[in-house]
Structure 1
């Protein structure tokens, strides 16, 4: 329940009734007074109740974190979450048991958790939010792996004078690869396909065609 209309002898009592039904507090709600009410003559005749509409204000950080906790629980994983917010960026670090299961092959499970959690965060936000989920420092280790891969494949493209097609990667990993490969003046990159199967292609500059 996200919104409720409540009545009461006074505005305050109507508001309290709505807050109780929504199981929330005043600072987490938007309150609109529909009718201030009327006591009536001698408090008996012509009395009109106060009417208010109370709408929940959701915290996208809290909602996304709770979603992730619920998913991990469904996976029978006991873990601790540490959340940090910097502007429009939400960073969630997972620690505990079964981190290998959380990460998955080449980070596929972790990337899926991140994708879904970001959807939840933006569902409750009026501005775009970016979510990054890490587990036991995997992201930094993965970045080091991507740097080595990017350099090796850039060298391959320059040596063979042919395009090198990479496996599908999430957008943030493609950005890492693109950034590293941009250091090599003889090659460049472009992306092909549609999410979530969009992938990067490294090509010698003279071979690139318009797409």
Structure 2
């Protein structure tokens, strides 16, 4: 947590100096007046400036990005983080070489990092923050792969008349399968099992 102590002829002047030093607006700080200004004898002798302490209020997304930067630095990776706000979530897109290490097998490492990033962000927010972490459009590519998989397996269920049980998936990936087949005329889906081994099941209607 960053604090600065500044002085000025008035409290307002000291606060302005502190805000300038921190590079933020007044809504991002807590102000603690350490010393009131005094004019001194005849306005000259013993005059004292105001002294204030400004405490920077952490921003949830800034803290999330700092956390990610620390992680990739520890992994000796050079990555650029791009932030994008949508109606559903705050998105952080990672760009750079060697992103496979951050994505992991079928996105498992990326999912784990996303989970930790959400924990960090919500520690510094008084309302729920949802962060989606992506790396070079992996989420979009994975979504298309899962949608195609859902269609193929639905055809298999119709052809063989036997249920198909998919491998364990994250809640987000299971939702993609359910959504892709929710209006299918001949099959339906449901989930079975407990986390982290919960699976999608495709059966005839």
Q: TM-score range by the shorter chain?
A: 0.7 to 0.9
Shift of the alpha carbon at 1:151? 1.8
SS in 2 for 1:183: coil
Q: Distance in 2 between matches of 1:49 and 1:191?
A: 69
The size of the alignment, in residue pairs, is 201
SS in 2 for 1:127: coil
Q: Distance in 2 between matches of 1:101 and 1:177?
A: 26
Query: Which stretch shows the higher mean deviation, 26-35 or 102-111?
Result: 26-35
The CA RMSD measured in Å over matched residues stands at 3.6
1:187 aligns to 2:188 (yes or no): yes
Q: Distance in 1 between matches of 2:33 and 2:183?
A: 62
Alignment of 1:157-172 (within 5 A): 157-158=157-158, 159-162=160-163, 164-172=164-172
- Partner residue, 1:89: 89
Shift of the alpha carbon at 1:160? 3.5
- Partner residue, 1:105: 105
SS in 2 for 1:204: strand
Shift of the alpha carbon at 1:63? 1.8
SS in 1 for 2:25: helix
Relative distance call for 1:51 and 1:107 in structure 2 (3 A) is same
Query: Which stretch shows the higher mean deviation, 145-154 or 28-37?
Result: 28-37
Q: Distance in 1 between matches of 2:85 and 2:98?
A: 25
8 Å Cα contact 2:30-2:57 kept in structure 1: no
For normalisation by structure 2, the TM-score amounts to 0.74
Q: Distance in 1 between matches of 2:120 and 2:3?
A: 19
8 Å Cα contact 1:157-1:202 kept in structure 2: no
Query: Which stretch shows the higher mean deviation, 63-72 or 26-35?
Result: 26-35
For normalisation by structure 1, the TM-score amounts to 0.72
- Partner residue, 1:24: 22
Deviations 1:137-191 (A, max 9, x none): 22222112101221233334443443x3322222221211110121224322135
Shift of the alpha carbon at 1:106? 1.0
8 Å Cα contact 1:6-1:18 kept in structure 2: yes
Shift of the alpha carbon at 1:71? 0.8
Q: Distance in 1 between matches of 2:82 and 2:49?
A: 46
8 Å Cα contact 1:192-1:201 kept in structure 2: no
- Partner residue, 2:115: 115
Q: Distance in 2 between matches of 1:40 and 1:137?
A: 62
Relative distance call for 1:124 and 1:179 in structure 2 (3 A) is same
- Partner residue, 1:152: 152
8 Å Cα contact 1:118-1:130 kept in structure 2: yes
